Structure 1
Amino acid sequence: MLRMPDGPAHTETQGPRQGRWPGPGIRARLLLLVLAGVLPVLGFAGLVLWRFAEAQRDLVEQTVQTRAEALARMVDTEFAALTSTLRAVAATRSFQSNDLESLHRQLVTMSRELKGNLTLRDAEGRPVLHSARPPGQPITDIPARPDWAVRGDNAEPGPQVVDLFDGAATRAPVYGVVLPVRDSGGRRYLLSAGFVATRLAERLRQEVPEPGWTVVVVDRGNRIVARNIDHDRMAGRDAGPRFQDMEHGVVRGHSYDGSPAVLAHAPTAVGWSVGVGLRAEVVDAPVRQAVWALAGVGLALLACALGLALWAGARIARATRALSAAAAALGRGEPVPPVRTALPEVDSVGAALSRAADALAARDAALREREAQLARTQRLARVGGFEIVVRYDAAGVPGFHNHRSPEYLALHGLGPEAAEEPHEEWVRRIHPEDRARVATHFAASVEGSGTDYVSEYRVVTPAGETRWISALAEIERDTAGRALRLLGVHVDISALRRTEARLAEHQSALAAAEERLRLALESGGLIAFDLDLRTRQGVFSPGHFTLLGLPVPEDRRSDLDVWKAAMHPDDHPITPEAWKRAVAEGATVTLEHRLRTARGDRWIAINGRALPGTGRFVGVYADVTERRAAQAMLEARVAEAVDAAEAAQVQLAQARKMEALGQLTGGVAHDFNNLLQVVASGAALLGKRAVLAEDPGARRLLEGIAGAAERGAALTRRMLAFARRQELRMAAVDTGALIGSMRDILARSLGPATPLETNLPEGLWRAQADPNQLELALLNLCVNARDAMPPELFPHGSVRIGARNAPAGPRDGEAGAGDPPPVGDCLVITVTDQGAGMDAETLARATEPFFTTKGVGRGTGLGLSMVHGLCAQSGGALRLISAPGQGTTAEIWLPRAEPGEDAAPVEAPAPVRAIPARPLDVLVVDDDPLVLASSAALLADLGHRAREADSAASALAALRAGPLPDLVLTDHAMPGMTGAELAARIRSLYPGLPVILASGYADLPAGEVLDLPRLDKPFGREALAAAMAGVKGPEGTEELAAGG
């Protein structure tokens, strides 16, 4: 817009001034106005177009350069993948173990996947294996020592890219990768992969499908390896000096066909170069179109009527403002909406700006998509990148700063916060068995002079999972050789390790199976055969000829007619129709018939199968003459086994009956003990009454009650022992010393009419048993032996006690009835009488509870049952050997104690400790009111104060109410909460408060508290006093018996 001068407007009424030029007329002014309005707009549009053209050229050049660099990275990625493949081959068990046949199969498989040839050469470059040649076949069409193998002799021990050369086998330009490797024996090999150049050209065409683009890959010798256009004509030619001297970047020049083009050059990490060209006509076409459009619009505007000048000027001003806003948005990187004005030229420029913005956004989106694809590829390939920057302090000590990619973090099971975790955290995650080795190797690699870091080790993820990692990195060093940076990848090779382990297992299993098959055929007397039914010839195992009494030919072939001639004439194992059907259907055929041999008629069993379409019949046969002879014997043994099974069923029913009876007996004994507790306690307390002490009759009655209670307690102990509910205190028992200490009491129990004899040899093993219960068992057996020999019938009868060691071994030959003896080392105690003995029926029922041969009132029938229960609980057995007129021997089998275990001391009964010197406050807990009252009365008689609680809940309430007692005496079997559970609650709530557990049921369920002082019901005044005297006081520093 033209700026108007300040001041009032000039009016025509003043008229023209004399001597002055009147100025241009209205047309001129309008023309000037049109020019003033149109020319700036056209100039601005031209400027915008020029800026657009410059931006378009910059964009194209950047795009060309970006594509060149991307293709260079593609080439590097290609060679990195090939190198990884070669390293994987070198790490296989086949290569390490020099298994060339298996390695060749792997090379063939990989060559098909890579669409190339893989070759293994020795250290001199001579081919050993080639993926396109069978193993073992001389490889004559491949150079024995190519130039690249000669150059690799003194190269760095890493992968080398082989520049383009003419392939001897393919007769076409070939490139490849060679990797020096060593097997487990330290032998050096060259493992290479070769590919025809058209493979890379096809890849270029896939990467650059658009017309107008030219891509060329040049090796280090400046030879063209591949082109996306006219590859066959240009491959292998020299790229020329202009490509060789071209710097990294973008230039304007001419392509090989002479047409102008935008050229970009990018080097690869392997020393190759990638050149990308875009024809100039493709680049300049949008600009030329915009220039012509602008010129047309300008001419049209100049031809417009002057009457539209002002209107056009206003529209142009608005259009330029919109265009400026669009350009500003483009500069800020924001979306550029379409510019809608009255001027098509301005709209065109706006559309161009919008398209440019869209192109930039699309390029950014494509770049992000490419990065996402790369990330997905890394995740699928279990690959993660890392960068370690090495920084040195003033003392020259290196420090490591890590940068990890998201794929790396996922590979190690880490979160984003670990992207720059300290070096020590990485070391800490290494498996403990690999940590020292890996840390030492890493330090040596950094401090050394090499440029490669390669390691394999295990890491433990935060979730506890163990993964195998293959680390590959390149070490960048400064001029002094110090490491500056490590750039590399971690590859999860856990699946490969598992595959290798499974492969090794399968190979081992296959070898073992083959060996087992060979041994099975040899040891099982199996004879294999393979018959050709068309020629009636077959191959047989040597045993076939031996069976027929024929010499074994070298080829082990025989005619089928020889077999048929040896077949017994009376045997027709299969009909011709069935044979034809089996051959046609490929069914399995099982036959048995006789062969006439020099050893007589032999039965053979054949198992074979016809292979349809081949005319072959393969299988095995065996001499089953002995098997058929043994079949009759087997049938007889089956009948015996049936009889044995029926007998076992009878024994099982008897065992279940005894178990049920034992459970019933244990429950009755528990309740009976509670009743005896009340009776015994009442009798003891009544006996201290002075008025009753003066009455002899009452005294006798009380003594009778106390004696009956004691006999009842003994009876319940036997019942508990029979029910296996008696708690045993197992120890290593010196049997000889125990029997010697019992000799007096046994002699008194037998009486003067029945002598006692012992036979206890030296060197007896110690037995694992409860010494107190074992004494009771011996006493019961001796009393039974005495009762079996009435003096009037056996005036010279005696009881003999013996013992012997029974080493481990089968016990099938042991005589007698009862449970089978243990097979391990045992000590056997025998008690023998010279009485009338027992018949088989009586002997079978001797250990049944309540079964007795004594008269009414003379026996309970629980003596042998108690001994039987003790042996069963101790892991042993009770056996009875008897016959009418030959007396009876009872054998107690007990397991041998561990050799290093000390023997349980044989002690005299300990004297009852004194009653506490001070009265105690005792909380008594029992759900039975009679037992509760009798226990409180006993405590009062001992001089203590008793508080009563009829349940565990009441006891806890009394403890909470206070004051705390000195001692808690509780029953075990109570509803709601047992005494053991109550003791556990008291221990947690009131530490140090002592608890005594009283029970008429000797054993506690699994999991109950067992480390408590125990009182077995029924207990008397002295037992209660002794239990209280042995309990620690509330402070845990003195015994209650010590007094205040």
Structure 2
Amino acid sequence: MTDGREKIWAISRDLYVVLARDGRFRDTNPAWQSELGYEASELVGLDFEALVHADDLDRARDAVSQMFDGDVVEDLELRLRTKDDNYRWFAWTGVPDGNVIYGMGRDTQRRRDMDEQQRHAQKLEALGRLTGGIAHDFNNILGGIGGAIEVVAERLDNGRLDGTRRLLDAASGAVKRAAGLTHRLLAYARQQALSLSDVDANALVRELDLLLRPLIGEQVTLDLQMQDGLWRTLSDASQLESAVLNLAINARDAMPAGGMMTIRTRNVERADIGRGRRDYVVITVSDTGTGMSQSVVEKAFDPFFTTKAIGQGTGLGLSMVDGFARQTGGRAIIESSPGAGTSVSLWLPRHVGENAAVHAHVDAALVRGKGQHVLLVEDEEMLRSIAREVLEEAGYRVSDCAEAYEALHLIDAGPPPDILVTDIGLPGMDGRQLALAVRETLRNVPVLFVTGYAWDAFADTPALPERTAMLSKPFSVHALIDAVADLLGTTGT
């Protein structure tokens, strides 16, 4: 070495190494001692693989092989074991020279630690926005419900009934808004309960056409471009409708002076989106509006992020759309630039197979039970009490309990239920496990799952089992009666 190179070798904080063809250390600089704790005498003659993390060995071996074939390797990140048995990341550059390799390793652990701290700070910021937005919206909703209840209670105490219907309707509307907020949050978190079925996206968009045209106004021209022979997708039709409506409303709002909105469907073969390389059905909503900067695009799917004025949007629309798409195995993708409009595409996996079972809908207003036995399992006492009263008033005979093992005991004691209505999130054995246990003896019993969020119970299956349905909390009493009637095939009397 020249004097200059020797000085760099001696004072550099980067790791320098001379590696022999057999993979053993020939020489190392003092940085190995200051950075990793090894004296040169401990390293010379040692196989380099002894210090490389097991998960990085294959890449390290490939790189050494490449270099002895004459190639230069740059920015190869490997973890090396320190003297005290920890691991640190270094980015390596290696140059072959005859029977040796000259290598330099630059510490990237500090950068990785800083990146991790930044990601953690960003998560905390997003969590702060999320909790702040939830608190704001729910406090408004709870304030409305609480105020209505107080006024109604006061009027009842004074023997007055005037205006109570209006106040109760207002409280009911607030409950629906709260339910809508939680559903959007669950969609963002990919924990909403989806009722998957075989969906024709072309038919769904065409059915939305009549609703969309008055919604977007006369200044916006709507152009539907439906691909012939569009594949089917396994999706939740109502959630997909909601997603397309959300995208259409956003597109309309981006064109305050009017413009062109295009909804396009197409098949895409073997794209690498979502959960791997596969075929997709793509629904794209495009506008000729103001567009978004790249910084806005990067935040567009964050919860409660919105560019709209206060009171004009919650900032949950796009996060719900993206969460829904991801939960079905796909993805939502935004393409936009200022002044050039925006396109948001829903990539939904192609579905090939049997159509999901569809229950014939029965009008709850016409339904009366005929004494069928309902086994109701719900650990929330107030909900269980209300559901039992509603079902009994509708003409059903109800047995109820708070947990799965008690339900199995009731079945053993008889008589068998005609339908099982169970919460999914039960203590101990969950609702899905209960349904599987019940169907070991009562193979054809219909099951109505009730849930606030616990879709994880069905994470290993793409659709609900046959003769089952899902009812999301909070639900109306008519929705409960309707769902039970659908599964039992009850007819009006």
**TM-score scaled to structure 2, two decimals?**
0.61
**Superposed CA offset, 1:120-176 (max 9, x none):** xxxxxxxxxxxxxxxxxxxxxxxxxxxxxxxxxxxxxxxxxxxxxxxxxxxxxxxxx
Structure 2 match to 1:831:
285
Structure 2 match to 1:1018:
474
Equivalent residues in 2 for 1:906-921 (5 A)? 910-912=361-363, 914-921=366-373
Distance 1:989 1:768, change over 3 A: closer
Structure 2 match to 1:463:
none
Structure 1 position 873, deviation (Å) = 2.3
Structure 1 position 753, deviation (Å) = 4.4
Structure 1 position 646, deviation (Å) = 6.7
Structure 2 match to 1:934:
386
Query: Which structure 1 residue ranges, 5 or more long, are not aligned?
Result: 1-586, 589-623, 687-693, 812-818, 1033-1038
Structure 2 match to 1:344:
none
Q: Please say if 1:1028 is aligned against 2:480.
A: no
Structure 1 position 704, deviation (Å) = 1.9
Structure 1 position 963, deviation (Å) = 5.9
Equivalent residues in 2 for 1:772-921 (5 A)? 772-790=238-256, 794=257, 796-808=258-270, 823-898=277-352, 901=353, 910-912=361-363, 914-921=366-373
Equivalent residues in 2 for 1:415-564 (5 A)? none
Structure 1 position 1004, deviation (Å) = 4.3
Structure 1 position 978, deviation (Å) = 2.5
Structure 1 position 822, deviation (Å) = 5.6
Structure 2 match to 1:724:
190
Structure 1 position 777, deviation (Å) = 1.2
Distance 2:388 2:260 in 1: 49
Q: Which amino acid aligns with 1:1016?
A: S
Equivalent residues in 2 for 1:665-744 (5 A)? 697-730=163-196, 733-744=199-210
Preserved CA contact (<8 Å) 2:367 2:490: no
RMSD: 5.0
**Which of 204, 207, 211 is the aligned partner of 1:745?**
211
Preserved CA contact (<8 Å) 2:269 2:278: yes
- Farther-moved stretch of structure 1 (875-884 vs 649-658): 649-658
Preserved CA contact (<8 Å) 2:359 2:487: no
Distance 2:384 2:217 in 1: 41
Q: Which amino acid aligns with 1:754?
A: V
Preserved CA contact (<8 Å) 2:255 2:287: yes
Preserved CA contact (<8 Å) 1:761 1:804: yes
Instruction: Considering Cα pairs closer than 8 Å and 6+ residues apart, tell me whether 1 or 2 has the greater RCO.
Output: 2
Report SS of the residue matched to 1:739.
Answer: helix
Preserved CA contact (<8 Å) 2:374 2:396: yes
Distance 1:882 1:822, change over 3 A: farther
Distance 1:652 1:744, change over 3 A: farther
Equivalent residues in 2 for 1:527-606 (5 A)? none
Distance 1:884 1:627 in 2: 48
Distance 1:763 1:939, change over 3 A: closer
Distance 2:396 2:410 in 1: 18
Structure 1 position 1010, deviation (Å) = 4.7
Distance 1:705 1:1021 in 2: 15
Distance 2:196 2:419 in 1: 29
Structure 1 position 741, deviation (Å) = 1.6
Report SS of the residue matched to 2:455.
Answer: coil
Preserved CA contact (<8 Å) 2:367 2:492: no
Structure 1 position 910, deviation (Å) = 3.9
**Which of 404, 407, 430 is the aligned partner of 1:978?**
430
Structure 1 position 725, deviation (Å) = 1.8
Preserved CA contact (<8 Å) 1:912 1:1022: no
Structure 2 match to 1:430:
none
Distance 1:736 1:1040 in 2: 32
**Superposed CA offset, 1:737-791 (max 9, x none):** 221121112224324443322222434444454433322211111112222333x
Structure 1 position 996, deviation (Å) = 3.1
Report SS of the residue matched to 2:166.
Answer: helix
Distance 1:1017 1:731 in 2: 20
Structure 1 position 902, deviation (Å) = 7.0
**Superposed CA offset, 1:278-302 (max 9, x none):** xxxxxxxxxxxxxxxxxxxxxxxxx
Report SS of the residue matched to 1:808.
Answer: strand
Structure 1 position 954, deviation (Å) = 4.4
**Superposed CA offset, 1:843-901 (max 9, x none):** 11110122222233332222111211222223322111122222221122233344xx5
Equivalent pairs counted in the alignment come to 376
Distance 1:630 1:947 in 2: 71
Preserved CA contact (<8 Å) 1:942 1:1021: no
Distance 1:1010 1:764 in 2: 26
Distance 1:863 1:849 in 2: 8
**Superposed CA offset, 1:417-475 (max 9, x none):** xxxxxxxxxxxxxxxxxxxxxxxxxxxxxxxxxxxxxxxxxxxxxxxxxxxxxxxxxxx
Query: Which structure 2 residue ranges, 5 or more long, are not aligned?
Result: 1-20, 23-66, 76-91, 95-103, 153-159
Preserved CA contact (<8 Å) 1:1002 1:1016: no
Structure 1 position 994, deviation (Å) = 5.3
Preserved CA contact (<8 Å) 1:757 1:801: yes
Preserved CA contact (<8 Å) 1:1030 1:1041: no
Report SS of the residue matched to 2:223.
Answer: strand
Preserved CA contact (<8 Å) 1:765 1:827: yes
Equivalent residues in 2 for 1:133-144 (5 A)? none
Q: Please say if 1:996 is aligned against 2:448.
A: yes
Equivalent residues in 2 for 1:256-267 (5 A)? none
Distance 1:759 1:702 in 2: 45
Structure 1 position 652, deviation (Å) = 11
Structure 1 position 1001, deviation (Å) = 2.1
Preserved CA contact (<8 Å) 1:827 1:893: yes
Preserved CA contact (<8 Å) 2:369 2:394: no
Distance 1:739 1:655 in 2: 40
Report SS of the residue matched to 2:172.
Answer: helix
Distance 2:121 2:228 in 1: 38
Distance 1:960 1:909 in 2: 31
Q: Which amino acid aligns with 1:725?
A: Q
Distance 1:765 1:961, change over 3 A: closer
Distance 2:342 2:260 in 1: 12
Distance 1:885 1:947 in 2: 62
Distance 1:650 1:779, change over 3 A: farther
Q: Which amino acid aligns with 1:871?
A: A
Report SS of the residue matched to 2:340.
Answer: coil
Distance 1:655 1:631, change over 3 A: closer
Greater C-alpha Rg: 1
Report SS of the residue matched to 1:825.
Answer: strand
Distance 1:654 1:778 in 2: 33
Q: Which amino acid aligns with 1:848?
A: D
Report SS of the residue matched to 1:755.
Answer: strand
Equivalent residues in 2 for 1:381-400 (5 A)? none
Distance 1:974 1:897, change over 3 A: closer
Report SS of the residue matched to 1:852.
Answer: coil
Distance 2:266 2:416 in 1: 56
Report SS of the residue matched to 1:1001.
Answer: coil
Distance 1:740 1:975, change over 3 A: same
Distance 1:627 1:800, change over 3 A: same
Report SS of the residue matched to 2:163.
Answer: helix
